[in-house]
């Protein structure tokens, strides 16, 4: 549905400065809500494009959805966007799909059963040194010039998935972000053996009353402690 309207003429606007949205976001959101709610009528709903309903907090299972993660790339006709769907149970993702049709990629994961892209099982890398770590970035700050910049899709979920696929070694954000941006990719990364936390190194928990986390840090497993240590002062200053 999103692919059919990609690179066509559709309405787009800003919900707030720097936060683009388009009519395709809303259409995909409505479709997913109808179909996923029919699959699991008992599950709650949390989505970027739906008004939050507090009754989700009383549900053991909740769908956590971003109908188009990477809307900026979608609007610009670039390929770095994806539809992100996760089923959260008791605060943790148990089922995830990240569909990036412009890239001909479909990522998926089930708790305890591994992560996959287009039928190929994923495994995070085994890099143990921060120096030389691959980071999706347009440019690296002076303090991180020992990293290696690789292609950066606009979708944070796709950047996290790159770690799962051993196409990047480290992804980190140092600001408050929403659960729907990261829920599906968090399970994909974890099931591929990557390490994941918030920017302070604390575990991620989903379906909270305020559905946000301060940053996300995804890395090859042996890099995580060193990455948390490097970012500690910056995370403390930002958060």
Residue 115: CATH number of its domain: 3.30.540.10
pLDDT of 18 higher than 90: no
**To the nearest whole number, what is the mean pLDDT of the chain?**
96
What is the mean predicted confidence (pLDDT) over 154-162? 98
Residues 173, 83 share a domain: no
The answer to whether residue 127 sits within a structural domain is no
Claim to verify: residue 109 and residue 13 sit in the same structural domain: yes
In this structure, what CATH number is given to the domain that contains residue 215?
3.40.190.80
**pLDDT at residue number 40:** 97
Query: How many whole angstroms separate alpha carbon 137 and alpha carbon 28?
Result: 28
Domain final residue, candidates 73, 88, 121: 121
* 88 burial via Cβ count (<10 Å: 0-12, 13-18, 19+): buried
Task: Choose the final residue of a domain: 100, 121, 142.
Answer: 121
- Tell me the pLDDT tens digit for each residue of 24-69: 999 999 999 999 999 999 999 999 999 999 999 999 999 999 999 9
Q: What pLDDT is stored for residue 144 in this prediction?
A: 94
Is the domain of 61 the same as that of 102?
Answer: yes
Sorted by sequence, the CB contacts under 8 Å of residue 155 that are 6+ apart come out as 69, 70, 73, 80, 81, 82, 84, 100
Asked whether residue 33 is domain-assigned, the answer is yes
Q: Are residues 177 and 77 in the same domain?
A: no
Q: Is residue 181 part of a domain?
A: yes
Q: What is the pLDDT of residues 187-232, one digit of tens each?
A: 999 999 999 999 999 999 999 999 999 999 999 999 999 999 999 9
Residue 128 counted as domain residue = no
Decide if 166 is inside a domain.
Answer: yes
The predicted pLDDT at position 167 comes to 98
Q: Is the pTM of this model over 0.95?
A: yes
pLDDT confidence of residue 92: 97
Please name which of 198, 207, 201 lies closest in space to residue 64, comparing C-alpha atoms: 207
Q: Give the pLDDT mean for 152-158.
A: 98
Residues 91 and 37 in one domain: yes
Half-sphere exposure (CA, 13 Å, Cβ side) for 143?
Answer: 5
Residues 142 and 200 in one domain: yes
161 in a domain, yes or no? Answer: yes
For residue 239, pLDDT beyond 90: no
Domain co-membership, 6 together with 89: yes
Of 107-111, 155-159, 219-223, 234-238, where does mean pLDDT reach its minimum? 234-238
Token pair 């599950």 is at which residue?
Answer: 43
The number of domains in the chain is: 2
Domain hosting 164: range is 134-238
Detail the DSSP E strand segments found in the chain.
12-16, 19-22, 44-47, 61-69, 82-89, 92-100, 105-110, 115-117, 120-121, 134-136, 148-150, 170-178, 195-197, 212-219
Q: What number is the average pLDDT over the span 154-178?
A: 97
């Amino acid at each position: 549905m999103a692919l059919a309207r990609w690179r066509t003429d559709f309405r787009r606007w800003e919900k707030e400065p720097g936060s683009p949205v388009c009519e395709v976001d809303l259409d995909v959101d409505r479709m997913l809500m109808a179909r996923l709610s029919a699959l699991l009528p008992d599950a709650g709903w949390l989505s970027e494009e739906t008004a939050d309903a507090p009754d989700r907090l009383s549900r053991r299972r909740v769908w956590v959805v971003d109908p188009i993660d990477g809307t900026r790339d979608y609007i610009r006709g670039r390929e770095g966007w994806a539809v992100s769907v996760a089923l959260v149970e008791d605060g943790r993702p148990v089922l995830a799909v990240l569909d990036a049709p412009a890239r001909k990629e479909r990522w998926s994961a089930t708790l305890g059963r591994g992560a996959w892209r287009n039928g190929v099982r994923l495994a995070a890398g085994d890099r143990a040194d921060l120096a030389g770590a691959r980071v999706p970035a347009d440019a690296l700050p002076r303090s991180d010039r020992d990293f290696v910049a690789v292609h950066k899709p606009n979708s944070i979920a796709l950047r996290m998935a790159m770690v799962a696929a051993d196409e990047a070694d480290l992804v980190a954000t140092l600001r408050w972000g929403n659960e729907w941006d990261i829920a599906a990719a968090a399970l994909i990364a974890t099931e591929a053996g990557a390490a994941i936390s918030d920017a302070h190194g604390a575990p991620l928990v989903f379906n909270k009353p305020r559905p946000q986390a301060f940053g996300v840090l995804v890395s090859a497993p042996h890099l995580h402690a060193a990455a948390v240590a490097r970012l500690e002062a910056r995370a403390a200053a930002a958060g």
